[in-house]
């Protein structure tokens, strides 16, 4: 849940940037790249990655109530929505960077979609799903999962920059 607070701060920054975009009728594509990098690397790969690859996988092994299983599947679908929206944002930013001014409203729309999506998603996790999930694990299992979260975080910087170098295709 600590990670949610940083995501919320970024959403506030994006709101401020959108206000300037409306006034200026322009946005710096490099700034959009920076915001997308945060969403992709921190919110999606790091945060959602831990949920999907560690927490949700561990929960699949538990005898979940029908409601908790439905809720978990709903959260997974919401993660997919976030990834799709971010992908569309990248595509619009590429068009904008290449001189297509008509992509600007789409950039604004996709950012607005994310601003509207994340608070509800975060509230579902913080107030409903995470508290319910705690009841399925022993203290020992919690500690093992926390250790796996830390290990996951430790690998993220290496994964990110491995992908950067791989994308450049040096031999």
Per residue in 77-128, pLDDT tens?
Answer: 999 999 999 999 999 999 999 999 999 999 999 999 999 999 999 999 999 9
Note the pLDDT of residue 125.
Answer: 93
Band (pLDDT 50/70/90 cuts) for residue 169 is confident
Per residue in 19-68, pLDDT tens?
Answer: 999 899 999 999 999 999 999 989 999 999 999 999 999 999 999 999 99
CATH architecture of the domain 2-168 equals Up-down Bundle (1.20)
Q: In the block, which residue shows the tokens 């790969």? A: 45
Note the pLDDT of residue 113.
Answer: 96
Radius of gyration of the chain (CA): 18
Angstrom distance (rounded) from CA 82 to CA 117: 8
- The full DSSP string for the chain is -HHHHHHHHHHHHHHHHHHHHHHHT---HHHHHHHHHIIIIIIIIIIIHHIIIIIHHHHHTS---HHHHHHHHHHHHHHHHHHHHHHHHHHHHHHHHTT-GGGHHHHHHHHHHHHHHHHHHHHHIIIIIHHHHHTTS-HHHHHHHHHHHHHHHHHHHHHHHHHHHHHH---
Angstrom distance (rounded) from CA 31 to CA 27: 8
Domain boundaries, the chain: 2-168
pLDDT at 161 over 90: no
Residues constituting the chain: 171
Per residue in 76-89, pLDDT tens?
Answer: 999 999 999 999 99
């Amino acid at each position: 849940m600590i990670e949610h607070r940083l995501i919320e701060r970024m959403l506030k920054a994006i709101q401020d940037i959108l206000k300037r975009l409306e006034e200026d009728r322009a946005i710096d594509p490099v700034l959009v790249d920076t915001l997308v990098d945060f969403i992709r690397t921190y919110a999606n790969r790091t945060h959602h990655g831990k949920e999907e690859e560690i927490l949700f996988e561990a929960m699949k092994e538990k005898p979940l109530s029908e409601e908790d299983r439905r809720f978990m599947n709903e959260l997974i679908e919401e993660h997919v929505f976030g990834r799709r929206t971010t992908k569309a944002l990248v595509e619009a930013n590429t068009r904008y960077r290449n001189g297509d001014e008509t992509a600007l409203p789409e950039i604004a729309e996709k950012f607005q979609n994310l601003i509207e999506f994340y608070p509800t998603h975060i509230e579902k996790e913080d107030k409903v799903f995470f508290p319910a999930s705690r009841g399925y694990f022993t203290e020992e299992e919690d500690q093992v999962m926390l250790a796996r979260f830390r290990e996951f975080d430790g690998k993220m910087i290496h994964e990110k920059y491995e992908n950067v170098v791989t994308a450049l295709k040096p031999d």
